[in-house]
């Protein structure tokens, strides 16, 4: 059961990575997808290592990734003006 969920999470991570590659330079990558990307990593670590595992490093990457995605959107919008 958990192996199936982990496999689904891995597939979703790959899908998001592909989408990010396609949309990042256009400033169209959704910060919510960045959140989902890191949430998948967090859940996978918790499933593999237990609920009490420290995921603060992934939480930090999630926060930084969302900010970077937002900045990229604003940057591309500013260059179009």
Cα(72)–Cα(46) distance, rounded to whole angstroms? 30
Residue 79 has pLDDT above 90, yes or no: no
Average pLDDT (11-19) is 97
Residue 1 has pLDDT above 70, yes or no: no
Tokens standing for residue 80: 């179009």
Q: In the prediction, which pLDDT does 2 show?
A: 86
pLDDT tens for each residue of 21-75: 999 999 999 999 999 999 999 999 999 999 899 999 999 999 999 999 999 999 9
**C-alpha neighbours within 13 Å on the C-beta side of residue 39:** 10
Tokens standing for residue 35: 């959140």
Residue 80 has pLDDT above 90, yes or no: no
3-state secondary structure of 17: helix
Cβ-proximal residues to 36 (8 Å cutoff; 6+ apart), any chain:
12, 16
Cβ-proximal residues to 28 (8 Å cutoff; 6+ apart), any chain:
73, 76
């Amino acid at each position: 059961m958990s192996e199936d969920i982990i496999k689904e999470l891995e597939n979703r991570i790959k899908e998001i990575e592909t989408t990010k590659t396609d949309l990042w330079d256009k400033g169209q990558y959704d910060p919510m997808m960045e959140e989902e990307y890191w949430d998948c990593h967090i859940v996978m670590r918790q499933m593999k290592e237990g609920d009490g595992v420290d995921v603060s490093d992934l939480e930090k990457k999630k926060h930084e990734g969302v900010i970077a995605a937002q900045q990229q959107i604003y940057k591309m919008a500013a260059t179009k003006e």
